[in-house]
Amino acid sequence: MDSAVLMPKPKDKIVRGDAYFRLRQEVEEFYYDEANMLDERRFDEWLDLLHEDLEYFMPMRRNVKFGMHEARENTPFDYGMSWFNEDKWTLGKRVEQILTGVHYAEEPLSRIAHLVTNVQVRAVTPSVDDPQVVDASCRFHIYQNRVEEEHYSFVGRRYDRLVRQEDGSYLLLRREILLDQNVLLAKCLTAFF
């Protein structure tokens, strides 16, 4: 996953006219539908939103000296440690494991709420009038409550690549998840981002 593609520099901004805002609304609706599926534990439906060639990546974050953030703050894709470096098959296996009812960290199932905000369309191919590939970003807050007293918050941003299907719907091709913490405070990492 080339982060530079998913996180274009400001010079790559697209014109924010009517077509942009219509497209952003489509992306927002995709995100809201996805959040509802996950919050309502409709995991099989969520898996249907994922492209067969999905790259799902959450790097570990490091505290680095000033001026080194771009090069060293996040562990690189496909090299070294990361919280997630998965594809559709591994996410499917995670769903299967949760749905067995004997998953140690998800029995009983967590109550989770996904909040999505600050949605932006960052790049479009070939154009906003004919969006075949859409690079988008958003901020998220995921609240997880487990058993009686465990509760966790995950806050960060996502950089996504969506691919438009013939019927006008989108599939998630790439997701890079950046948590705004470098030490994971949760006892387990079972939520989908």
Angle at the Cα of 30 (from 186 to 127), degrees rounded to 5? 125
Domain that holds residue 70: 3-179
Mean pLDDT of 171-180: 93
pTM: predicted TM-score of the whole model, two decimal places: 0.86
How many separate domains does the chain show? Answer: 1
Mean pLDDT of 169-185: 89
* Cβ atoms of residues 24 and 119 within 8 Å: yes
How far is CA 193 from each of CA 21, 124, 178, rounded to the nearest angstrom? 24, 23, 10
CA pair distance 67, 82, nearest whole angstrom: 22
Q: Would you say residue 33 has pLDDT above 80?
A: yes
More reliable by pLDDT, 72 or 19: 19
Q: What is the CATH number of the domain that holds 113?
A: 3.10.450.50
Tell whether 141 is covered by a domain. Answer: yes
Tell whether 191 is covered by a domain. Answer: no
CA pair distance 66, 150, nearest whole angstrom: 35
Tell whether 190 is covered by a domain. Answer: no
Q: Copy the structure tokens of residue 109.
A: 């199932």
Q: pLDDT at position 99, please?
A: 85
Give percent of the chain with pLDDT exceeding 90: 54
Q: For residue 58, name the pLDDT band (cuts at 50, 70, 90).
A: confident
Tell whether 122 is covered by a domain. Answer: yes
Q: What are phi and psi of 30, to 5 degrees?
A: -60, -50
* Cβ atoms of residues 105 and 30 within 8 Å: no
Tell whether 126 is covered by a domain. Answer: yes
Tell whether 119 is covered by a domain. Answer: yes
Range of weakest confidence among 53-67, 110-124, 150-164:
53-67
Secondary structure of residue 187 in the 3-state scheme: coil
- Residue in the structure block whose two tokens are 């998630």: 172
Tell whether 100 is covered by a domain. Answer: yes
Average per-residue pLDDT in the chain?
85
Tell whether 36 is covered by a domain. Answer: yes
